């Protein structure tokens, strides 16, 4: 029962902003939890809020536009150019660096503020999370095994 509780906490803490996978995976593997389950639960826990943020932001934006009416001003030429550059290069870079720099949750909000396409955002954030989760899980697991081997 205690083990089940620990795996549940892996899921919950990986979904928690500022804790996320960079802290959860090393802690869980250091406690001796199964690396496959830790990786899967950490990925699922970190991905769930991404979907909630993306779809929740969409609903919030629709609600806000209905409430505010059509008072939105047209985008300036500079903003359109910045948005075009962001859409072309910014999302892959942000998503791949997000777990280490800002955390995945803040990165999603930044991307949403630039009105990134929902599907592109979800694809890139999930690619990033798969790479980071796999890399961290394998790196930490084998690092711990090497330390155990060296220390006897």
The CA-to-CA distance between both ends of the chain, in Å, stands at 30
- According to the model, what pLDDT value does residue 29 have? 97
Better-scored residue on pLDDT, 150 or 88: 150
What span, in angstroms and rounded, lies between the C-alpha atoms of 107 and 1?
Answer: 35
Better-scored residue on pLDDT, 28 or 63: 28
What span, in angstroms and rounded, lies between the C-alpha atoms of 7 and 147?
Answer: 24
Per residue in 74-124, pLDDT (tens digit) is 667 766 765 666 777 789 988 998 888 888 998 898 899 888 899 999 999
Half-sphere exposure of 111 (CA within 13 A, CB side): 32
Domain boundaries, the chain: 2-66+75-151
Per residue in 53-82, pLDDT (tens digit) is 999 997 888 888 887 665 556 667 766 765
Number of helices (H), then strands (E), belonging to the chain: the values are 7, 0
Q: How many residues does the chain have?
A: 152
């Amino acid at each position: 029962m205690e083990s089940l509780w620990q795996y549940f906490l892996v899921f919950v803490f990986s979904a928690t902003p500022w804790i996320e996978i960079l802290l959860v995976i090393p802690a869980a593997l250091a406690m001796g939890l199964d690396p496959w389950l830790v990786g899967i639960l950490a990925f699922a826990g970190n991905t769930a809020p991404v979907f909630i943020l993306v779809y929740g932001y969409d609903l919030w934006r629709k609600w806000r536009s209905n409430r505010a009416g059509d008072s939105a001003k047209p985008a300036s030429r500079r903003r359109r150019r910045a948005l075009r550059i962001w859409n072309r290069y910014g999302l892959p870079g942000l998503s791949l660096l997000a777990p280490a720099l800002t955390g995945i949750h803040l990165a999603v909000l930044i991307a949403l503020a630039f009105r990134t396409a929902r599907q592109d955002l979800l694809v890139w954030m999930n690619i990033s999370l798969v790479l980071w989760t796999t890399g961290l899980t394998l790196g930490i697991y084998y690092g711990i095994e090497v330390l155990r081997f060296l220390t006897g």
